[in-house]
Amino acid sequence: MGIPSGGGDHLCVLIHGLWGNPKHLEYLTTAIRQRYDDSELQILVVKRNSGTFTYDGIELGGERVTREIEDAIEEYARNGVEIRKISIVGYSLGGLVARYAVGLLYSKGYFDRIRPVNFCTFVSPHLGVRTPLLGWHNHIWNVIAARLLSVSGRQLFAIDNFRNTGRPLLSVLADKDSAFFKGLERFQNRVLYANVVNDRATCYYTAGISRFDPYVDLSDISLNYVPGYSPIVLDPDNPISAAIKEENEKLPVARQISGTTHSATMRTPMVLIYAIVVPIGMILFLLNSLIQTMSSMIRIKLHSSDKLGYHRLPLLVEEMQEAAEGLMEDIHHEMVPQHLTASSEESVGERLVNTITPRKTVPTQEGVEDSSVLITLADGTIPREKSDRGPPPPKSTPGPKSVMEQLPPPPQGKIEFPTLALSHQQFEMITNIDKLNFRKYPVFIHNDRHTHAAIIVRKPWAKRWDEGRVVVAHWLDKAFIV
């Protein structure tokens, strides 16, 4: 590993996503290093779970990453650096691998001697990648697609049986009595970033851990940004307001460029995709999936014996794989999410309508106006994510909070959003994970439709992804503690 002697005692671990490799995290690594040299912060970009190894599942990936972290801590110690603090950052699937690794580190007692500081995910599918669908649509897409990505696919679509518990791994990760949950509780700062549009791999509801999607139709809302990071990073406490538009007013150019799932569906009818594109692309994808599933099964059997070497596909096969996987993301993006109906509501026990109610602008004791929003469900509960686990805010008088608490919910001005057709287990995951008080930052990437890659500037030389630099800057400025 070539770890130098001396340096800071804080280790920051970066974990890439599905089909990924350490190069995907090159910009994140560079941005961190420009802020903090190794006298303040050590950086570990994990590499033992790269490429097709990510097919092997969250559990096996988490074990590999944990061992790599342990080995790094030991090597730092041999070089005179005692790691006393740790931060873990996961991108895409890497966020789930990170949550599994956190549980292993916690259960091994690492957090009793190493202080967990930051846990951050960028566009990670915390609720899986199941498209919210009902009826036969649900079975055709979510059940079949889950079997195309080996163990990782079954876990991401939550149709696996984790260690014969009768529950999918994602449900166990979110169990408040599990080591995975208790390990996350130990972190001082928990934040996540979620794209609001055009994320072809991880849509908003799962990256943002939400039961509804307020960004389906941007023409109905106005977006409120974090000052200094506009128009990209939204204010997590007050992300949207009701749109006030004049008749025949056109959307801003940025919104026309971005579009939504519904507009994408109108541009490219599903019939055309199924009839022409899918047969050719799926043949390549299925062949590749068969090869990778067989290879994954072999690796899983060999895992305990440590007989694995670095596995790499021939270049041509890798290019075919990348193209086929891109097609799968496109198809996933074209699936229009469905919402609960009156009958399906009874089966999962969830209310149909969620509302975001803009608060009245009121003067505080200091004369400062407060125009935050209150997010309520139809049953009157308030699933607020108010706890800011980031750098401590400056102290202020309790005026704003006390005034807000005295305000009754206004009867008008509500923006209503139907509940997505999530599974019962996904609703349970939301309830449990929200107890961890993640600071949730919605992100609006305007200039490219591949926002999943743009949010972390996966290719630093790609100018079209420069908006992601603003997201990374916000993370380091406002949501990362050294």
pLDDT in tens, 8-47: 999 999 999 988 999 999 999 999 999 999 999 999 999 9
The rounded distance, in Å, linking the Cα atoms of 24 and 17 is 9
Contact between 83 and 61 (Cβ < 8 Å): no
The rounded distance, in Å, linking the Cα atoms of 325 and 320 is 9
CATH number, residue 68: 3.40.50
Determine the straight-line distance between the first and last CA of the chain, rounded to whole angstroms: 23
59-64: which pairs have CB atoms within 8 A and are 24 or more residues apart? 59/100, 59/155, 59/162, 59/169, 60/151, 60/299, 60/300, 60/303, 61/93, 61/97, 61/100, 61/152, 62/97, 62/98, 62/99, 62/100, 62/101, 62/103, 62/104, 63/100, 63/104, 63/303
Together in a domain, 120 and 218: yes
85-91: strand order across its sheet? 42-45, 10-15, 85-91, 115-122, 189-195, 439-443
Cα–Cα nearest to 376, from 350, 360, 357, 395: 357
Together in a domain, 236 and 353: no
Q: Which of 417, 442, 462 is the last residue of a domain?
A: 417
Give domain status of residue 304, yes or no: no
Give domain status of residue 143, yes or no: no
Together in a domain, 378 and 251: no
Quote the pTM value.
0.74
Give domain status of residue 296, yes or no: no
Instruction: Identify the pLDDT of residue 344.
Output: 63
The rounded distance, in Å, linking the Cα atoms of 207 and 92 is 8
Together in a domain, 79 and 228: yes
Contact between 147 and 153 (Cβ < 8 Å): yes
In tens, the pLDDT along 126-177 reads: 999 988 877 666 666 666 766 666 788 889 999 899 988 999 999 999 999 9
Can you read off the two tokens belonging to residue 456? 């972390």
Q: What is the DSSP letter of 339?
A: B
Residues 6+ apart with CB under 8 A from 208: 192, 194, 440, 442
Instruction: Identify the pLDDT of residue 72.
Output: 98
Give domain status of residue 5, yes or no: no
Contact between 285 and 331 (Cβ < 8 Å): no
Q: Which of 378, 394, 417 is the last residue of a domain?
A: 417
Contact between 369 and 362 (Cβ < 8 Å): yes
Give domain status of residue 149, yes or no: no
Together in a domain, 204 and 92: yes
Active site residues: 92
Give domain status of residue 23, yes or no: yes
Instruction: State the pairing for strand pair 362-363/85-91.
Output: unpaired
Spell out the per-residue pLDDT of the chain, length 482, in tens: 456 556 799 999 999 998 899 999 999 999 999 999 999 999 999 999 988 888 889 999 999 999 999 999 999 999 999 999 999 999 999 999 999 999 999 999 999 999 999 999 999 999 999 888 776 666 666 667 666 667 888 899 998 999 889 999 999 999 999 999 999 999 999 999 999 999 988 999 999 999 999 999 898 899 999 999 999 999 999 999 987 655 444 444 444 334 444 444 444 455 555 555 555 555 555 555 555 555 555 555 565 555 444 333 333 334 444 444 454 555 455 556 777 776 665 556 666 667 776 544 333 333 333 333 344 444 444 334 333 444 444 444 444 333 333 334 434 567 888 899 999 999 999 999 999 999 999 999 999 989 999 999 999 999 999 999 999 999 999 999 99
Q: Which of 395, 417, 439 is the last residue of a domain?
A: 417
Give the chain's domain count.
Answer: 2
Together in a domain, 239 and 355: no
Instruction: Identify the pLDDT of residue 356.
Output: 73
Contact between 460 and 24 (Cβ < 8 Å): no
- What domain range includes position 52? 10-130+164-255+422-478
Can you read off the two tokens belonging to residue 423? 């599974």
Together in a domain, 391 and 458: no
Omega before 391 within 30 of 0, i.e. cis: no
Together in a domain, 386 and 428: no
Give domain status of residue 321, yes or no: no
Together in a domain, 407 and 362: yes
Instruction: Identify the pLDDT of residue 243.
Output: 78
Cα–Cα nearest to 50, from 323, 313, 315: 313
136-142: which pairs have CB atoms within 8 A and are 24 or more residues apart? 137/338, 138/421, 141/335
Together in a domain, 217 and 123: yes
Instruction: Identify the pLDDT of residue 288.
Output: 55
With tokens 């992300």, the residue in question is 239
Together in a domain, 111 and 238: yes
CA angle 166, 68, 51 (to 5 degrees): 75
Give domain status of residue 62, yes or no: yes
Instruction: Identify the pLDDT of residue 296.
Output: 56
Instruction: Identify the pLDDT of residue 280.
Output: 54
The rounded distance, in Å, linking the Cα atoms of 219 and 431 is 29
Strand (E) or helix (H) holding 240: strand 240-242
Together in a domain, 225 and 354: no
Cα–Cα nearest to 156, from 166, 141, 142: 142
